[in-house]
């Protein structure tokens, strides 16, 4: 089966859609955990890390980073060690529960960026991803990424994939700063940013709740089924695709009443 799409924009999830869940959980997450302490020490009091620490404090419910760490006006070694320990403990706690919080995702993205720059990380992408991106670009499709991972992480991820640099095929990136992936308002905001009506956007993801939110926003939707993905509930109601090549770009206007049904 193929999914006939005559719209103008394709919005892609990452984990479980363009890359395996195992790469994220078995490679990226452990790498961030292993490098966390040294990254904090090496970058402490740098502007980029200061911004993330403020965000981590707010995500934890504090008014500011200083209040959260109970720091006084003196910044001696004991105070710095105390603050680093506080940040490290909170980040590990959030990683343990796979939190989708902006501060955590920004910090992970910075750590991964260093790993990509050092040649220690190379992103897994499914074999159908690069050919599909090339085909869609040639067809004039605006292809963008929406992931809980930070925009920084997304760009490094696709610039350093096993299939080469895929960034030239991508026109935009969105993360949790635009909103939750399970909130229909996020998808409306993305469509507004692209300048494309929601009914001209196809969102591909492996998560049913995300697809429901996108559908409620008016987007076309399809469920991507990959080996190792989490099971989906029976009767979810979405067209299931095993490859991005199953998306067939057409010039014929799509029929709104069959928005989530594949052609036979």
Which pLDDT does position 73 carry in this prediction? 54
pTM for the structure as a whole: 0.87
Q: What is the pLDDT of residues 181-210, one digit of tens each?
A: 999 999 999 999 999 999 999 999 999 999
Kind of pairing between the strands at 247-249 and 3-5? parallel
**Mean pLDDT for all residues in the chain:** 91
Best CA proximity match to 143, nearest among 8, 1, 237, 26: 8
Q: Where do the domains of the chain lie?
A: 3-19+123-258, 25-117
For residues 155-176, average pLDDT? 97
Which pLDDT does position 165 carry in this prediction? 98
How many Å apart are CA 174 and CA 216, to the nearest integer? 19
Residue 145 has pLDDT above 70, yes or no: yes
Inter-residue contact 10 to 142 (CB < 8 Å): yes
Place of tokens 């490679």: 27
CATH number of 3-19+123-258: 3.40.50.1000
Residue 147 has pLDDT above 90, yes or no: yes
Residue 21 has pLDDT above 60, yes or no: yes
Beta bridge partners of 19: 15
More confident residue, 259 or 162: 162
Question: What does the DSSP assignment read for the chain?
Answer: -BEEE-SSEEEE--BTTTB-HHHIIIIIHHHHHHHHHHHHHHHTT-HHHHHHHHHHHHHTT-S-HHHHHT--S---HHHHHHHHHHHHHHHHHHHHTT---HHHHHHHHHHHHHHHHTT---B---TTHHHHHHHHHHTT-EEEEE-SS-HHHHHHHHHTBTTB--GGG--EEE-GGG--TT-HHHHHHHHHHHT--GGGEEEEES-HHHHHHHHHTT-EEEEE--TTPPP--TT----EESSGGGEEE-SSPPPGGGTT--B-
Q: What is the pLDDT of residues 209-234, one digit of tens each?
A: 999 999 999 999 999 999 999 999 88
Q: What is the pLDDT of residues 29-71, one digit of tens each?
A: 999 999 999 999 999 989 999 999 999 999 988 888 888 887 6
Inter-residue contact 122 to 78 (CB < 8 Å): no
CATH 1.10.3470 fits 25-117, yes or no: no
């Amino acid at each position: 089966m193929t999914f006939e799409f005559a719209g103008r924009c394709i919005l892609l999830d990452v984990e479980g859609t363009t890359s395996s869940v195992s790469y994220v959980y078995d490679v990226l997450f452990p790498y961030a955990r292993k490098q966390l302490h040294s990254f904090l020490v090496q970058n402490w009091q740098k502007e980029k890390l200061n911004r993330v620490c403020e965000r981590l404090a707010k995500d934890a419910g504090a008014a500011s980073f200083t209040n959260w760490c109970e720091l006084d006006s003196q910044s001696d070694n004991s105070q710095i060690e105390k603050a680093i320990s506080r940040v490290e403990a909170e980040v590990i706690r959030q990683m343990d529960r796979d939190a989708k919080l902006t501060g955590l995702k920004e910090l992970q993205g910075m750590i991964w960026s260093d790993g990509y720059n050092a040649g220690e990380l190379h992103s897994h992408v499914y074999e159908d991803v690069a050919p599909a991106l090339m085909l869609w670009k040639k067809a004039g499709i605006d292809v963008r990424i929406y992931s809980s991972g930070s925009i920084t992480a997304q760009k490094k991820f696709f610039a350093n994939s096993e299939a080469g640099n895929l960034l030239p095929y991508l026109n935009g990136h969105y993360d949790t700063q635009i909103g939750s992936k399970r909130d229909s308002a996020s998808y409306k905001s993305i469509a507004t940013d692209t300048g494309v009506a929601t009914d001209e956007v196809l969102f591909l993801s492996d998560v049913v709740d995300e697809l429901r939110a996108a559908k409620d926003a008016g987007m076309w939707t399809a469920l991507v089924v990959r080996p190792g993905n989490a099971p989906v509930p029976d009767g979810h109601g979405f067209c299931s695709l095993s490859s991005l090549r199953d998306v067939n770009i057409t010039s014929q206007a799509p029929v709104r009443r069959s928005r989530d049904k594949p052609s036979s």
